[in-house]
Amino acid sequence: MAGLGGTQAADQMLGDNPGAPAVKDTTTATFREDVLTDSLRQPVLVDFWAPWCGPCKQLTPVIEKVVKSAAGKVKLVKMNIDEHPEIAGQLGIKSIPAVIAFQRGQPVDGFMGALPETQVKQFVERLIGPLGAGDEEYAAAEAALKGGDAEGAAETYRALLEEDPAEPRALGGLAQALVALGETDAARELLDSAGTSKHAAISAARAALDLAAQASNVGDLAGLEAALAKDPQDHQARFDLAVGLNAEGRRNEAADRLLEIIKADRNWNEDGARKQLVQFFEAWGPMDPATLAARRKLSTLLFS
């Protein structure tokens, strides 16, 4: 598959394509034309789904309605991962439904789960128009957590749980805040109460908890930097350094270390660097700037 870049080609191909359908199915063989090429004209949403997935069936009529109401400004392409698993696997899609937005041949945004129509509409508006109002309390809690105020985020999530003790966004958010505060036992107990839930917030918290456990075994980052300076081919040191950098909140640096391994030796440790990067994506969330930036770089490596 050709590279995902090509701004000169993009400039030549930009423009409306009124004859193209707003919603269509794609395959591994037609992915480049249906998604990468068409995203040079307008944003393309790729909906990764499977026939057995209940939430996928909930999302389908919602996202199709929103896309069709956009009057050709955005396109929806659906990929059945049972029949065509390769692209989803390469992009690190581990749970469905998952929607990734492409523009100019690159993934730029995404979400997981069967969102309500208002949130799907807001997602599309980020690509083609004004962003609608969101849930202010959740937005504030997420901003606090990303800004380093884990205590403030935990307080907000606890208040939200008092209103609805089973709300997965609040459960997952509080668990992530507890991990950030070093209260991993409390986070694990909270996640156990979520049972087998595969909600994106719960999955992200579980990934964050696993990463915290990994980071506790990494050791001194300066020592790892010294090992790399001595032997630039020491991918294990580079891998451990990525885990440690992530634990310090240095997400872009952590992702870049893993991308360096993937570029040098894709098969190192049975594709271990890419698998670790996918776990980062899961913990950070599909719309985190570090996820978006690293996923673009990963796509370039995989598809070039």
User: What is the sign of the dihedral through the CA atoms of 162, 167, 172 and 173?
Assistant: negative
For the chain, strand residue ranges (E) read 23-25, 44-49, 75-80, 98-103, 106-112
Question: What torsion do the CA atoms of 256, 261, 267, 273 make, to the nearest 10 degrees?
Answer: -40
Beta carbons within 8 Å of 216's beta carbon, 6+ residues apart: none
Choose the catalytic residue: 4, 44, 53, 160: 53
Where are the chain's structural domains?
Answer: 7-128, 139-196, 221-303
Beta carbons within 8 Å of 217's beta carbon, 6+ residues apart: none
- The reply to whether 139-196 and 221-303 are identical in fold is yes
pLDDT at 228 > cutoff 80:
yes
Question: What torsion do the CA atoms of 103, 92, 88, 46 make, to the nearest 10 degrees?
Answer: -30
Q: How far apart are CA 13 and CA 185, in angstroms?
A: 53
- Give residue-wise pLDDT tens across range 67-96: 887 767 889 999 999 999 999 999 889 899
- Give residue-wise pLDDT tens across range 263-295: 999 999 999 999 999 999 999 988 889 999 999
Distances (CA, A) of 290 to 5, 17, 24, 298: 19, 32, 30, 12
Q: Of 147, 139, 207, which is closest to residue 172 (Cα–Cα)?
A: 207
Q: How many percent of the chain have pLDDT more than 70?
A: 90
Choose the catalytic residue: 56, 59, 153, 209: 56
Residue 28 is encoded by which pair of tokens? Answer: 């591994």
* 228 catalytic per annotation: no
Q: How far apart are CA 280 and CA 196, in angstroms?
A: 21
The matching CATH number, chosen from 3.30.565.10, 3.40.50.620, 3.40.30.10, 3.40.50.460, for 7-128 is 3.40.30.10
* 119 catalytic per annotation: no
Q: What global pTM score does this model have?
A: 0.56
pLDDT at 172 > cutoff 70:
yes
pLDDT at 3: 36
pLDDT at 239 > cutoff 70:
yes
Q: Among the listed ranges 145-159, 193-207, 223-237, which one has the minimum average pLDDT value?
A: 193-207
pLDDT at 187 > cutoff 70:
yes
What CATH class has 139-196? mainly alpha
- CATH number of this structure's domain 221-303: 1.25.40.10
